[in-house]
């Protein structure tokens, strides 16, 4: 094993430090970095499984061009880069700079992001560069700018430890920001209260003192009501409001007109009055309140207003800029914050400057000494793809994001790409739902292979460091961009020796003419984002850079909390209350589409699964696309738990398995965002999502689409395991799941094969030499077969007219056995362990691979009544802690069962 390299996790915005090692064979092991202030050694299960995702299976290792017949062939870098540069040059020459566009990602490193933004805005002269952060953080960005004058996150993680009350709004932190959630759990153990505002009862709610299951989309009323309540009850920091804010009266007038009375608010939000008042009183009573918000706030047609209505309450009570207090927008992606620093959004310039500010444009252009600077804000994500579809954009370069899965109205996005003259895709994976439509595929270096920086939710800049060799011909994203820039004639401005030089240029720009008075003498160019203390870093200093929170002072020290001096970034130094009238979401359910579709994340997958989909450990928890719904709605829709259903909206359709128990209220359904054409037959939920956007931020309303659920009729269900991948063509339904030494397929089909044996042998590619075990009950319609080669299980398939198939967990274990024993053979066709208790059940604790049956048995037999007891007995829950809410529920269920 090599020396451990200290780097940063490439998943969520918590920004955990990771110590990573690779051995000579490329096997990677990781552990949490105890010295990193974001996580102090902890990792969640996704971080802990990083070593299972760095293999080269499915990687894009060479540039590729698409031929007329849709096939891809390998080309050299020069040919690929020339094709990109020629295409972009031609489009600009013939149609002007706004005929080209970039769609980039909060998963790029700051250095990658900086150069592509510089190329678009300063050299090509277009602001048509937007990013998946538009889908993620843009409402928070817009709210920060309205309230504070700049996109600034006031609080830090340490504030969670010091808070007396933590309010989570539209955040399933137990699953999505697990290591931050552990801090909240610690604060709770020390006496803090936790309130969760979410229409669903999520894993996060398991730990809450109070859950407010508000009607989707009604957050603005909830916080307008809180503002009125605080004002009416004298919970106002008048000194702070007078000295440091502006606009209270207008905000209060709107709030009290529509939400001045808690009973009205309770009915608008669909919650019990007593619960609402309990929340308002908790907020009123505690000085140290952190309100952490995420996609339940941002991804809404009133996302910006939701965030401002919440910030208003912190401003009124003066609970901001103090230890343990503040509104806290938690970032989704590892570098959502870094992308915002370098101005990756279509309406921003670099270093927190604004495109619409002439002084800012002049500062940035002067610093870059660039030939031009984009004069108008560019197209935001949804509009950008619409412009592609309409043919206004002729050349599009997509980097580090998978829009055919993740944008709303995703089938329309796919059609847009199909009609575009030139689509360039930089990715680490060869085949994604997006890259199949590219004309040029460019292989990027991935996590562990590349070097640079990311910024976490609390403004902490951390290094991602390389510990693996570059595979194939893959290159760093920044380098690819610079190569194209050179071919476009901008060699001098894009001549960087490495990420260090780019980072220093970015740091210098943050300090350049900062705090300078504008034309009217007011500090028009004052920005809080200031990395002056990092502007003189040399290469070794950059390599050794310790995690630091911006603003970074000249002596290199960082800043944990903003606004402690009460000075905001508006020209007059004051924060703004924003009047936020409540607004209903764009589309309401109706007779045709009676249910409301909410979409989001599950614990163990990351976005479109290109990386987490490789990990057997992460596949165990929830392994198929599903639609979570209330039993009454299932009944009404004619579907049953465990069966397949089609979910239909005005925009598109998908197929998923019906599930209960996800804490969903009647009238709503929840579908995870992760599955796509690479992992399932028809499970891109983006195809269904309405493309409606927030009018201020342009962020789509991902959590509020009317849908209908209907049966997906099939004649048989089945599953199969294979040591090799199996073909899926012709199956009505399939989902592919990565296992320890196999691929698993869940399948279903409209027609039963005439002769199951012939069909199964062909599908599993059973060679004559192998041993073929078979069982058929033709009357019951049950068929099972297994292929054994040299005493090792090679593949097996189970078919039934019903989805009541045997346990996959026990069968999966057989793939780990070098030789099948007699008992295994007997059990194989029964699909059951011959000895009772041999089936661990579905995975609950992914870190230690502990299944539900094992946990339930232990709870029963050892009379365990706390998660800590389960951890002591089985280790389950003892590592990342993400499964503790589930263990708690199993304990509660066991006890409820024994009382009954
Ligand atoms: N495991 C995992 N973790 C991740 C990711 C991942 O893919 N997988 N992705 C990362 C990224 S990029 C992001 S942006 C974050 C997202 O992190 P979160 O925002 O926590 O995750 P989501 O599941 O998108 O949505 C959060 C919650 O909003 C609720 N919600 C829906 N509508 C409303 C509403 O009207 N009001 C309120 N108050 N709540 C509502 C949903 O029910 C859901 O539980 O997660 C990050 N972490
Ligand atoms: N319905 C619905 N849709 C949503 C959301 C929702 O809640 N509901 N959430 C939205 C949000 S918040 C987000 S953040 C988006 C995320 O959606 P996407 O950004 O589309 O999802 P990812 O799978 O993270 O895509 C990242 C891509 O970059 C590739 N990649 C990984 N590392 C590198 C690298 O170093 N360089 C390059 N060039 N490529 C790399 C990966 O293989 C992958 O193809 O989804 C959005 N879409
Ligand atoms: S909480 Fe998990 S996914 Fe997020 S940065 Fe930490 S280890 Fe990575
Ligand atoms: Mo996100």
Segment 837-860, tens digit of pLDDT: 677 888 888 888 898 889 999 999
Question: Which is it for strands 548-549 and 644-649: parallel, antiparallel or unpaired?
Answer: unpaired
Atom of ligand 2 nearest to the CA of 405: 20
Question: Edge to edge, what strands does the sheet with 100-104 contain?
Answer: 72-74, 64-66, 440-443, 422-427, 395-399, 100-104, 129-131
Does residue 874 contact residue 860 with C-beta atoms inside 8 Å? no
The pLDDT tens digits of the residues spanning 112-133 come to: 999 999 999 999 999 999 999 9
Comparing 201 with 849, which gets the higher pLDDT? 201
Q: What is the pLDDT of residues 59-113, one digit of tens each?
A: 999 999 999 999 999 999 999 999 999 999 999 999 999 999 999 999 999 999 9
CA distance 495 to 487: 12
Q: Counting beta carbons within 10 angstroms of the beta carbon of residue 280, is it exposed (0 to 12), middle (13 to 18) or buried (19 or more)?
A: buried
Q: Is 462 in the pocket of ligand 2 (CB under 6 A)?
A: no
> In angstroms, what is the span from residue 133 Cα to ligand 3's centroid?
18
Q: What is the pLDDT of residue 824?
A: 87
| Terminal CA-CA length for the chain | 54
Token readout for 667 is: 């009238």
pLDDT surpassing 80 at residue 156: yes
Whether the CB of 859 sits within 6 Å of ligand 3: no
* pLDDT average, residue stretch 878-886: 84
| Ligand 3 atom at shortest distance from the alpha carbon of 179 | 1
- Residue 428, ligand 2, Cβ within 6 A: yes
Domains of the chain by residue range? 5-53, 64-136+335-445+455-549, 138-330, 595-711, 716-830, 843-899
What is the structure's pLDDT at 900?
46
* Mean pLDDT on 813-830: 87
More confident call, 808 vs 34? 34
Q: How far, in Å, from the CA of 332 to the mean position of ligand 4?
A: 4
The larger pLDDT score, comparing residue 442 to residue 767, is at 442
Q: Which comes out higher in pLDDT, residue 765 or 470?
A: 470
Task: Report the atom number in ligand 1 closest to the C-alpha of 13.
Answer: 46
Residue 760 confidence (pLDDT):
94
537 pLDDT band, cuts 50/70/90, is very high
Cβ–Cβ under 8 Å, residues 667 and 564: no
Residue 772 β-bridge partners: 787
User: What's the whole-number average pLDDT of the chain?
Assistant: 95
Q: Assign domain 595-711 to its CATH architecture.
A: Beta Barrel (2.40)
- pLDDT value of residue 808: 87
Residues 573 and 148 sit within 8 Å (Cβ to Cβ): no
Q: Whose CA is nearest to atom 34 of ligand 2?
A: 446
Tokens representing 899?
A: 């009382």
Q: Is 300 in the pocket of ligand 2 (CB under 6 A)?
A: no
Sign of CA dihedral 711, 717, 721, 726: negative
Cis peptide before 482 (omega within 30 of 0): no
Shortest-distance atom of ligand 2 to CA 407: 47
Q: What residues pair up with 679 in beta bridges, in sequence order?
A: none
CATH topology (fold) of 5-53? N-terminal domain of TfIIb (2.20.25)
CATH number of 64-136+335-445+455-549: 3.40.50.740
**Does the pLDDT of residue 262 top 70, yes or no?**
yes
Nearest to 262 by CA among 280, 249, 245: 280
- Which residue has the least CA distance to atom 12 on ligand 1? 332
Measured in Å, residue 606 CA sits from the centre of ligand 2 at 8
Cα 22 to chain centroid, rounded: 27
Region 859-875 average pLDDT: 91
- CB-CB contact of 578 with 302 (8 Å): no
Is residue 18 over pLDDT 50?
yes
pLDDT score recorded for residue 768: 72
Ligand 3 atom with the smallest distance to the CA of 44 is 2
pLDDT of residue 754: 85
Measure 433 CA to ligand 2 centroid, in angstroms.
12
178 lines ligand 3 (CB under 6 A): yes
Q: For the ranges 15-19, 404-408, 827-831, which has the lowest average pLDDT? A: 827-831
pLDDT of residue 596: 98
Where residue 1 falls among pLDDT bands split at 50, 70, 90?
low
Is it the case that residue 324 has pLDDT exceeding 90? Answer: yes
Question: Is pLDDT of 532 > 70?
Answer: yes
Question: What DSSP letter does each residue of 731-751 carry, written as one string?
Answer: -SEEEEEE-SSSEEEEEEESS
Q: Which residue has the higher pLDDT, 540 or 813?
A: 540
Q: Are 355 and 365 in contact (CB under 8 A)?
A: no
- Give the Å distance between the CA of 501 and the centre of ligand 3: 28
Ligand 2 and 406: CB distance under 6 A: yes
Report, at the CATH architecture level, how domain 843-899 is classified.
Answer: Orthogonal Bundle (1.10)
Q: Is residue 447 helix, strand or coil?
A: coil
Which token pair is 719? 């599953």
Question: What ligand is nearest to the CA atom of residue 671?
Answer: 2
User: For ligand 3, is residue 332 a contact (CB within 6 Å)?
Assistant: no
Span from the CA of 653 to the centroid of ligand 3 (angstroms)? 32
* Dist CA 575 CA 147 (whole Å): 5
pLDDT of 831 reads 75
- pLDDT of 767 above 90: no
Q: Does residue 12 line the site of ligand 3, with CB under 6 A?
A: yes
Beta bridge partners of 193: 165
Q: Does the beta carbon of 427 lie inside 6 Å of ligand 2? A: yes
| Ligand 2 centre distance from Cα of residue 348 (Å) | 21
State the architecture of 138-330 in CATH terms.
3-Layer(aba) Sandwich (3.40)
Residue 19's DSSP bridge partners are 6, 31
* Residue 430 CA, ligand 4 centroid: distance in Å: 22
Q: Is the pLDDT of residue 697 over 80?
A: yes
**Gap between the Cα atoms of 827 and 842, Å rounded:** 18
Which residue, 707, 593, 716, is CA-closest to 654?
Answer: 707
Strand partners, 798: 719, 784
Closest atom of ligand 2 to 403 CA is 20
């Amino acid at each position: 094993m090599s020396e451990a390299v200290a780097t940063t996790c490439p998943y969520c915005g918590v920004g955990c430090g990771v110590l990573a090692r690779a051995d000579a064979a490329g096997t990677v092991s990781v552990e949490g970095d105890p010295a990193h202030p974001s996580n102090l050694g902890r990792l969640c299960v996704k971080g802990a499984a990083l070593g299972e995702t760095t293999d080269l299976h499915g990687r894009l290792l060479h540039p590729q061009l698409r031929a007329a017949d849709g096939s891809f062939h390998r080309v050299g870098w020069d040919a690929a880069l020339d094709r990109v540069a020629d295409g972009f040059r031609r489009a600009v020459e013939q149609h002007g700079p706004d005929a080209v566009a970039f769609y980039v990602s909060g998963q790029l490193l700051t250095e990658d992001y900086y150069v592509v933004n510089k190329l678009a805005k300063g050299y090509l002269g277009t602001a048509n560069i937007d990013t998946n952060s538009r889908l993620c953080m843009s409402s928070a960005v817009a709210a920060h700018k309205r309230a504070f004058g700049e996109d600034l996150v006031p609080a830090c993680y340490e504030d969670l430890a010091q808070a007396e009350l933590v309010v989570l709004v539209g955040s399933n932190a137990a699953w999505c920001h697990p290591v931050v959630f552990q801090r909240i759990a610690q604060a709770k153990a020390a006496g803090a209260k936790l309130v969760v505002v979410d229409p669903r009862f999520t894993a996060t709610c398991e730990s809450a003192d109070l859950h407010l299951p508000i009607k989707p989309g009604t957050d603005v009323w909830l916080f307008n009501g809180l503002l009125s309540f605080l004002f009416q009850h004298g919970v106002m920091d008048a000194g702070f409001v007078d000295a440091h804010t502006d606009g209270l009266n207008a905000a209060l007038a709107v709030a009290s007109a529509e939400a001045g009375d808690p009973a009205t608010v309770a009915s608008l939000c669909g919650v019990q009055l007593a619960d609402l008042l309990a929340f308002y009183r908790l907020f009123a009573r505690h000085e140290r309140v952190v309100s952490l918000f995420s996609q339940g706030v941002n991804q809404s047609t009133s996302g910006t207003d939701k965030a401002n209505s919440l910030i208003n309450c912190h401003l009124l009570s003066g609970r901001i800029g103090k230890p343990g207090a503040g509104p806290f927008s938690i970032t989704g992606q590892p570098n959502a914050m870094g992308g915002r620093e370098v101005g990756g959004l279509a309406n921003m310039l670099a270093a927190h400057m604004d495109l619409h500010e002439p002084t800012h444009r002049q500062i940035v252009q002067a610093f870059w000494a660039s030939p031009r600077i984009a004069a108008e804000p560019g197209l935001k994500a949804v509009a950008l793809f619409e412009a592609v579809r309409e043919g206004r954009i002729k050349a599009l370069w997509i980097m580090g994001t998978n829009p055919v899965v993740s944008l709303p109205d995703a089938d329309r996005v796919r059609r847009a790409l199909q009609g575009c003259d030139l689509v360039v895709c930089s990715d680490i994976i060869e085949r994604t739902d997006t890259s199949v439509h590219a004309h040029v595929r460019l292989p990027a270096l991935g996590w562990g292979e590349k070097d640079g920086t990311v910024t976490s939710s609390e403004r902490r800049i951390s290094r991602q460091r390389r510990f693996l060799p570059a595979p194939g011909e893959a290159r760093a994203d920044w380098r690819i961009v610079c190569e194209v820039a050179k071919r476009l004639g901008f060699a001098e401005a894009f001549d960087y020796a490495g990420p260090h030089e780019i980072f220093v240029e970015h740091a210098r720009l943050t300090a350049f003419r900062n705090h300078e008075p504008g034309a009217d003498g007011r500090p028009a160019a004052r920005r809080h984002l200031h990395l002056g203390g990092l502007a003189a870093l040399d290469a070794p200093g950059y390599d050794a850079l310790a995690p630091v929170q911006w603003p970074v002072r000249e002596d290199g020290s960082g800043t944990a909390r903003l606004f402690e001096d009460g000075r905001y970034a508006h020209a007059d130094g004051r924060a703004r209350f924003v009047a936020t009238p409540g607004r209903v979401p764009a589309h309401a359910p109706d007779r045709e589409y009676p249910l409301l579709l909410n979409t989001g994340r599950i614990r163990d997958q990351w976005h479109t699964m290109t990386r987490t989909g490789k990990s057997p450990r992460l596949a165990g928890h929830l392994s198929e696309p599903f639609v979570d719904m209330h039993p009454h709605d299932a009944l009404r829709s004619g579907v049953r738990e465990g069966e397949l259903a089609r979910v239909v909206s005005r925009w598109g359709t998908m197929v998923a398995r019906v599930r209960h128990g996800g804490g969903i209220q009647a009238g709503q359904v929840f579908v995870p965002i992760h599955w796509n054409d690479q992992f399932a037959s028809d499970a891109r939920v983006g195809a269904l999502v309405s493309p409606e956007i927030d009018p201020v931020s342009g962020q789509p309303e991902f959590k509020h689409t009317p849908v209908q659920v209907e049966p997906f009729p099939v004649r048989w269900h089945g599953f199969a395991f294979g040591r090799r991948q199996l073909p899926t063509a012709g199956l009505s339904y399939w989902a592919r799941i990565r296992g320890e030494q196999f691929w698993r397929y869940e399948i279903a089909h409209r027609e039963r094969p005439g002769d199951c044996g012939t069909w199964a042998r062909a599908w599993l590619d059973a060679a004559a030499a192998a041993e073929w075990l078979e069982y058929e009950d033709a009357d019951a319609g049950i068929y099972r077969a297994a292929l054994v080669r040299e005493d090792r299980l090679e593949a097996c398939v189970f078919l039934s007219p019903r989805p009541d198939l045997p346990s996959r967990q026990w069968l999966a274990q057989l793939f780990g056995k070098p030789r099948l024993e007699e008992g295994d053979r007997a059990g194989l066709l029964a699909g059951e362990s011959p000895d009772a208790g041999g089936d661990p059940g579905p995975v609950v604790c992914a870190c230690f691979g502990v299944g539900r049956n094992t946990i339930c048995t232990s709870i029963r037999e050892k009379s365990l009544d706390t998660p800590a007891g389960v951890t002591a007995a089985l280790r389950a829950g003892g590592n990342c802690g993400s499964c503790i809410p589930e263990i708690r529920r199993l304990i509660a269920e066991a006890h409820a069962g024994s009382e009954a």
